[in-house]
Chain A
Amino acid sequence: MQNIQKDFFGNQVLTDINFTLGAGEVLGLCGENGAGKSTLMKILFGMDVIRETGGYGGNVLLNGQKVAFATPFDALAAGIGMVHQEFSLIPGFTAKENILLNREPKKHNVISEVFGERLNTLNYKEMDARSAQAIEKMGVQIDADMTISDMPVGHKQFTEIARELSKDQLKLLILDEPTAVLTEKEAEALLQSIRGMSARGIAVIFITHRLHEILSVCSKVIVMRDGCVVRDVPAGKTSVQDITKWMVGRSVQTGAAHAETAVQEKNAKTILSIRNLWVDMPGETVRNVSLDICEGEILGIGGLAGQGKLGIPNGVMGLYEAGGTVEFEGKEIPLNSPRKCLDASLAFVSEDRRGVGLLLDESLEWNVAFPAMQIKEKFLKKYLGGIVKWRDEKAIHAVTTKYIDELMIKCTSSKQKAKELSGGNQQKVCLAKAFALEPKFLFVSEPTRGIDVGAKALVLDALKKFNRESGVTVVMISSELEELRQTCDRIAIVSGGKIAGILPASESSEEFGMLMVSQVK
């Protein structure tokens, strides 16, 4: 691939990617979430999203010839196979049927002679042979006659790989985090089969967060960060430490950013204490988190996606099923009840801006004032001794205008609908909503996800200001470590649903990187 470039609506996600891959080579591709790995693979595989968002720049050369795949079908025909992170299998079919889906060997019969090929019957004997061959190629034993829904996760993954292997023309196989769902033993078997494939001359691109796997199976490692290839080295000449450093570390701005880290008072009292918290949030399971948060600090929670960092605030605030004990200012807060948390002066800015954070069809005024109105009974005029609680439109307008000015929200008026704003401005509205509650404690989840650099700085500054001036304790959850290091006093890293460690923000990137991958299983 040469000079690959890609932007989504002016947001540059890939810049100048170059790499080559020989037949039978195994390439390990790693990088933080959002580094551009998946986008790169989508370009290679000709996925629709790429074309719909305006195509890409640069050239893809296959066997020395320039190719541009308009659809995944073209890519398949050219001998590129891809195993996605999510399974694309039909649960009610057997492994065999899934492996050969839409490429089944067929038998002619009388009816099909008359009515055309679509009525050919399937040749099950031939299918048995072909699927057995593919499974053998993989080097792992799975039962070809078992239905997918009965299979353990690992076998589903193998079925997907076998499907790609059963294609005769396969030259390049892309595996997108295939081991994320596997147990250690299964993963080892998979690695073994990757080695087998490469021995047969099939090139493999292997994406994973488990760095030791890359080292054990790949011949070459590419590390990506912020849409650039930062390193392209033979696997033999590197180590897990090196890779994490390249993945996480910003080459330019490291260290300089947080000169103003607040002096940590040694005896600051604990305001929120979490003990043995588990949260059942799909994709972000929290297993056992114990955490103390000091009054007046900004605590960052970081970690790779899917490790459970988002589950912590969602669980504490009662949006997902949770268990354990949470104490706020010495009093226990019942879980699974958003109201109780809000009553205790906790507030939460959700990572799911459009889903949980905003009333998209209502005005900004409603969005900003609603929680404060419901929880703190603000912006209400009371009549008849408090029986009638009338919405005070004037007060609502005033407070919204105040926050629009303060946070520089770009909008036509405070009556504009929330869905008409851009992502960054919607995020600011979410913050304004939380600020209007005047909480003592604020959870902010992924405040900068999907917003541009300018808005990012403003949002982070607003948070810092809110913390320093109003003395509000802030817990900020973000997958961007650098951002946490710029904003927070201390940073807790979540890995495998547990707190892997808490470090001061001034600690080196490598230390954080090590914690991030420490318990990835």
Chain B
Amino acid sequence: MENNLAKDRLRSAIRQFGITRLIIAGFLLALFVIAPFVGVDLVGQITNTINRFSWNAILVLAMVPMVHSGCGLNFGLPLGIISGLLGATLSLQFGFTGLLSFVMAIVIATPFALLLGGGYGWMLNKIKGGEMMVATYVGFSSVAFMCMMWLLLPYSNPTMVWGLSGKGLRTTISLEGYYDKALANLFQINIGKLSIPVGTLAFFALLAFLMWAFLHTKTGTAMTAVGSNPEFAKASGINIDRTRMLSVIMSTWLAAVGILVYEQGFGFIQLYMAPFYMALPAVSAILIGGASVNKASIPNVIIGTFLFQGIVTMTPTVMNSMFHMDMSEVIRVIGSQGMILYALTRKTEGSK
């Protein structure tokens, strides 16, 4: 009897944590354990993981509002990222430097995010039920459109434009002298070889706290209710379209800020096709974190980003040291795409 009870309790605990999360966490743990034995610099890898976590966490956080309002996972993340890139390039163009250039990039990106997010939200309200598919194409087409615009817009800052013609933006722009490591270097803690970018983490914590707080306000509660049961929300006098629109704008703005934070850690602005590849890792991260298509929380974001980025950092180095071949890309792709596929098959658990 006793034994059975304990077994039941264990089983329900496992179910609560989620079997997939458990498997991935176990896998990551195994990687950390194996690492020193195959000659990988463990401390370096941990630093790496923490760094990557700090770059990506806000992009993952950007998923939360739209999931709450029932718009599904924001595959249209590139739209927000483009707002961020516009902010970044314009801030550099206007000649801001250092930390100020980072702040100004956010300030300049904001109106773009509001505008593009508003239009995007308006469109999503027209196609209720098919959000995620349309979002994917919105992301793709906005990237394609901006590929042209990056060439055509009259940027002139010599650090950004192509050297020979003096026109059109380069694919990769170095941020040295601008906001490279602007947050990461704030209050950075170094213990031996381990370094922790406290500034970046604190910035994420601030945004995550604001998001958490928002979800506890009247409007945030309404947003969750809209996602949980739109009919109920409508019968309770909530303006569904406006609430969804708000969530899309929030998501787009967070994506804009998220890419700026990513750039300051990475040290480069990546243009053209780069935004294309940002949405899927963010989507898979929040799903690994235990979110579903219509439920997501801040812990989901934190756990998910850590697990996903941990795997992405650790797998290639450890595997390469073990087998001496390059499997990183393959594993990353299988991991992220497979996770999305898995989550979409679980969609029915929600309330639609």
Contacts and interface: CB of A to CB of B under 8 A. Distances in A.
Interface string A386-416: 0011110000000000000000000000000
Interface stretch (B5-13, B55-63, B188-196, B226-234): B226-234
11 contacts: A319-B235, A355-B229, A356-B235, A358-B229, A359-B225, A360-B229, A361-B294, A370-B221, A374-B221, A390-B216, A391-B218
Nearest to B294: A361
Interface string B230-245: 0110111111000000
Given A357-B235, A358-B232, A359-B225, 8 more contacts: A319-B234, A339-B237, A342-B236, A356-B231, A356-B234, A375-B237, A389-B218, A390-B213
A388 B225 CA distance: 19
A389 B217 contact: yes
A356 B232 contact: yes
Interface in A309-356: 317, 319, 338-339, 341-343, 348, 350, 352, 355-356
A55 interface: no
A370 B236 contact: yes
Nearest to A433: B236
Nearest to B224: A362
B218 A375 contact: no
B237 A350 contact: no
A343 B238 CA distance: 12
Contacts of B216: 390-391
A357 B232 contact: yes
B238 to A, nearest CB: 6
Interface residues of A, number: 30
Nearest to B228: A359
A388 B215 CA distance: 11
A421 to B, nearest CB: 15
Contacts of B232: 356-359, 370
A366 interface: yes
A366 B218 CA distance: 12
Query: When A and B form their complex, which 7 residue pairs have the shortest distance between CB atoms, in order from nearest?
Result: A339-B237, A389-B218, A371-B236, A342-B237, A356-B231, A359-B228, A361-B351
A377 interface: yes
B295 A338 contact: no
A42 to B, nearest CB: 27
Nearest to B221: A391
Contacts of B217: 388-391
Contacts of B231: 352, 355-356
Given A360-B229, A391-B218, A339 B235 contact: no
Nearest to B217: A389
A370 B225 contact: yes
Contacts of A391: 216-218, 221
Contacts of A375: 236-237
Contact of A361 (B221, B228, B235): B228
Nearest to A343: B237
Contacts of B108: none
Interface string B16-36: 000000000000000000000
B323 to A, nearest CB: 44
B236 A338 contact: yes
Contacts of A373: 218, 221
A491 interface: no
Given A380-B218, A389-B218, A362 B228 contact: yes
Interface in A406-440: none
A428 to B, nearest CB: 16
A391 B221 CA distance: 8
B85 interface: no
B222 interface: yes
Nearest to B238: A374
B350 interface: yes
A380 B350 CA distance: 28
Contacts of A343: 237
Nearest to A337: B237
Contact of B295 (A357, A360, A361, A371): A361
A18 to B, nearest CB: 44
B218 A339 contact: no
B228 A374 contact: no
B351 A360 contact: yes
A391 B224 CA distance: 13
B283 to A, nearest CB: 21
A388 B213 CA distance: 9
A338 B234 contact: yes
Contacts of A359: 225, 228-229, 232, 351
Nearest to A354: B229
Contacts of A338: 234-237
Contact of A374 (B236, B295, B351): B236
Contacts of B221: 366, 370, 373-374, 391
Contacts of B235: 317, 319, 338, 348, 350, 356-357, 371
Contact of B239 (A339, A370, A377): A339
A374 B222 contact: yes
